[in-house]
Amino acid sequence: MTISAVMASENKSPAPEITHKSDSKNKNADELLNNFMTLLVAQIQNQDPTKPMDNNQLTSQLAQFQTAAGIERLNTTVGGVGFSVRGMQQTKMADWVNKAVLIEGHQRLSGSEAQHKTLSFILNSHVDEVSIALTDEGRGERYIGKLTGVKKGINHYQLSQLTDFQPVAPSLEGNTTFNIAYSATTPEGLAPKITPLKQTKIESVAFQPSGALFQLGMDGSAKLDEIYLVQ
């Protein structure tokens, strides 16, 4: 398993004293409340005796500052939870190394493996019919098979499930390679979007500030939102 990570450069000087961010946040919240109390005491000492401070106003101000301090502590807690969640996510994604995944891309099938390979695609709506065209790279000949009643979402089919090939069913010879293309129609005759998917394998994953980046060998790289399914 290969997992890339950004490592800090080695520093041989004595390590500085470490101040935890949560301690700093708590200190800021306490200082905020202490400063308010100092100002409040000064305000009471210098108030006009003929116009003393309204108790309701005093209570309201104190509640506002306590709320501000509580929100700051809450933000610190939420930040800590978020850090833990990100750590668990990275551990989970590291386990995907060497696993097969589906990404957007056009699929190619060799004749010898065509019967055992899965054809995968995504539809954004239910459709009445999907046409799948197999084009022979060497001869340029095109064969079109059909699927009926296909549902919205990710779909997987075997070549043997296609029907009504035109002009005829392709001859699946060992040295033949087919390019796969899809088209779809709804019962109303519309042409919804259909996204072809191809299978590849995660070789490594790099964790960056912008998120995880998966290395896919000959298929380049992909971000997390570009991986449709981990198999």
pTM of the model: 0.58
Q: What is the pLDDT of residue 24?
A: 55
Q: Residue 102: enclosing H or E segment and its boundaries?
A: strand 100-104
- Per-residue model confidence (pLDDT) at position 19: 44
Contacts by 222-229, CB closer than 8 A, 24 or more apart: 222/101, 222/103, 224/93, 226/103, 226/104, 227/101, 227/102, 227/103, 228/101, 228/102, 228/103, 228/104, 228/122, 228/154, 228/197, 229/101, 229/102, 229/120, 229/154, 229/197
**What class has domain 104-199?**
mainly beta
Every domain of the chain and the residues it spans = 104-199
- Tell me, what's the pLDDT at 18? 40
Render each residue's pLDDT in the chain as its tens digit; 231 residues: 444 433 333 444 444 444 444 455 555 656 766 776 677 667 666 665 555 555 566 666 666 666 766 666 656 655 555 555 555 666 777 888 888 999 999 888 887 777 778 899 999 888 889 999 999 888 888 999 999 989 999 999 988 899 999 999 888 777 888 899 999 887 777 788 899 999 999 999 888 777 788 899 888 999 888 989 888
pLDDT recorded at residue 130: 92
